[in-house]
């Protein structure tokens, strides 16, 4: 009963628009005071504040964000689209396909959905428009492609899931690769189909010489190398994810210096941005721990888990309902908040009915990510709409075919978990 009251308070505070971290801390502290007493509340607030943050594993997040910031400074990402466009050449819907591939690459180094959508908006949409794509379709491609960043390593969302669920971050990051590539593949298929159905809206690409293609390889080469280094190090278990993230950031730092694009002002901006995003995530973790203590004290987690397992429902039925809940949550809440709030409660259920936590991490991150491209608060769509000065509802309409494709991929991954689990199962432990 108290757990429900506390949750309602949390929902109210969130709806008021209070920062998620504050809302969780307030609801959690109020609950702790109510369940225990003032002393317990103060004790828990005091101890969680520093213990939530003082963690060697946690630096994976700022380091990968720093890596993305340096890549953005080095402007390699801007050239990435041109490079893939040349390589894809005259395939039907060539530029659209190039956008998806560039997005997959960019996602690989940035781990940020909105950063990916923003970069692609400024480079690929104007190019697609010049070739006669409809703005709606071009915007739809870019907004959806941004979401690939959450699957292809390094994905901040998967790292966060790993930290909360206490699942190997290395395995999670590696597990994201195959589904990420498959989703990219399906997105390009949608573009092919659209180009056959509506050739007027999706014109064919342009052919380029081999020489030009090799030239362009020079652009993408260093970035591919960086990506290969980070992923390789993780896959082989040569270094911990934390070390891999620092190496990645260092590599990106070196690249931006080599390209002579790193200024002192740019450096300060990059490190401050990384500090801001990391502390935003860290503050939510603190808030979630305070709320989590309260929730555990009321025994709510245990009760819910026992109840659902006791239902003896078909595991897939439970999974289906959970994923629907995630889809709805994704429409209102930020992914970071969704993961931190729900995973501690949901994971015991999932493991209890016999699913793999690594597999669930990938599926849940994908599902929560859908909210980035659906109304009412799809951030990627807003970013694209702001860049293109195109009405938001137009872009949402453009996203629709891709949305259907991504949703069906979630179903595929849920039905055949081996697709996700095969690669991480090959990893050296």
Q: Quick one: 182 or 239, whose CB is closer to other proteins?
A: 239
In the bound complex, what is the minimum distance in angstroms from residue 206's beta carbon to other proteins?
25
In the bound complex, what is the minimum distance in angstroms from residue 126's beta carbon to other proteins?
13
Q: Quick one: 192 or 332, whose CB is closer to other proteins?
A: 332
Q: Which residues contact 228 (CB under 8 A, 6 or more apart)?
A: none
Tokens 């190997």 found at? 168
User: What whole-number distance in Å separates Cα of residue 243 and Cα of residue 235?
Assistant: 13
Query: How many other CB atoms are there within 10 angstroms of residue 350's CB atom?
Result: 24
Q: Which residues contact 25 (CB under 8 A, 6 or more apart)?
A: 45, 286, 287, 290, 291
Tokens 């070390």 found at? 243
Find out whether 335 and 345 touch, Cβ atoms under 8 Å.
Answer: no
Q: Quick one: 340 or 349, whose CB is closer to other proteins?
A: 340
User: What whole-number distance in Å separates Cα of residue 417 and Cα of residue 168?
Assistant: 18
In the bound complex, what is the minimum distance in angstroms from residue 199's beta carbon to other proteins?
31
Q: Please compute Rg for the chain using Cα positions.
A: 22
Find out whether 290 and 44 touch, Cβ atoms under 8 Å.
Answer: yes
Q: Quick one: 39 or 354, whose CB is closer to other proteins?
A: 39
In the bound complex, what is the minimum distance in angstroms from residue 25's beta carbon to other proteins?
5
In the bound complex, what is the minimum distance in angstroms from residue 10's beta carbon to other proteins?
11
In the bound complex, what is the minimum distance in angstroms from residue 167's beta carbon to other proteins?
18
Q: Quick one: 175 or 333, whose CB is closer to other proteins?
A: 333
Find out whether 371 and 327 touch, Cβ atoms under 8 Å.
Answer: yes
User: What whole-number distance in Å separates Cα of residue 108 and Cα of residue 234?
Assistant: 14
């Amino acid at each position: 009963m108290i757990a429900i009251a506390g949750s309602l308070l949390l929902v109210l505070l969130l709806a008021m628009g209070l920062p998620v971290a504050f809302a969780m801390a307030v609801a959690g502290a109020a609950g702790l005071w109510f369940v225990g007493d003032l002393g317990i509340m103060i004790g828990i607030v005091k101890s969680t504040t520093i213990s939530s943050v003082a963690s060697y594993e946690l630096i994976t997040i700022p380091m990968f964000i720093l890596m993305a910031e340096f890549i953005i400074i080095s402007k390699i990402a801007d050239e990435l689209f041109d490079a893939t466009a040349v390589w894809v050449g005259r395939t039907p819907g060539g530029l659209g396909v190039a956008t998806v591939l560039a997005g997959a690459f960019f996602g690989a180094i940035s781990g940020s959905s909105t950063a990916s959508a923003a970069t692609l908006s400024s480079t690929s949409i104007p190019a697609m428009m010049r070739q006669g794509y409809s703005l709606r379709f071009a915007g739809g491609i870019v907004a959806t492609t941004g979401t690939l960043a959450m699957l292809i390593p390094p994905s901040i969302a998967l790292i966060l899931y790993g930290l909360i669920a206490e699942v190997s971050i290395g395995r999670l990051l590696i597990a994201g690769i195959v589904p990420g590539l498959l989703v990219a593949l399906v997105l390009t298929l949608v573009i092919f189909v659209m180009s056959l159905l509506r050739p007027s809206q999706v014109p064919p690409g342009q052919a380029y010489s081999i020489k030009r293609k090799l030239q362009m390889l020079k652009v993408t080469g260093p970035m591919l190398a960086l990506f290969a280094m980070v992923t390789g190090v993780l896959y082989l278990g040569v270094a911990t994810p934390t070390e891999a993230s620092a190496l990645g950031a260092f590599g990106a730092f070196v690249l931006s210096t080599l390209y002579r694009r790193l200024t002192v002002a740019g450096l300060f901006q990059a490190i401050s941005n990384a500090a801001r995003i990391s502390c935003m995530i860290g503050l939510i973790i603190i808030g979630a721990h305070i709320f989590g203590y309260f929730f555990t004290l009321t025994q709510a987690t245990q009760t819910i888990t026992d109840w659902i397992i006791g239902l003896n429902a078909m595991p897939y039925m439970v999974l289906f309902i959970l994923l629907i809940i995630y889809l709805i949550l994704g429409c209102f809440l930020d992914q970071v908040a969704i993961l931190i709030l729900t995973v501690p409660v949901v994971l015991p259920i999932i493991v209890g009915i016999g699913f793999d936590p690594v597999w669930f991490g990938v599926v849940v991150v994908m599902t929560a990510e859908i909210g980035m491209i659906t109304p009412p608060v799809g951030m990627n769509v807003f970013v694209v709409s702001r860049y293109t000065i195109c009405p938001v509802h137009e872009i949402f309409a453009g996203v629709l075919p891709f949305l259907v494709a991504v949703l069906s991929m979630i179903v595929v991954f849920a039905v055949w978990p081996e697709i996700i689990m095969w690669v991480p199962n090959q990893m050296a432990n």
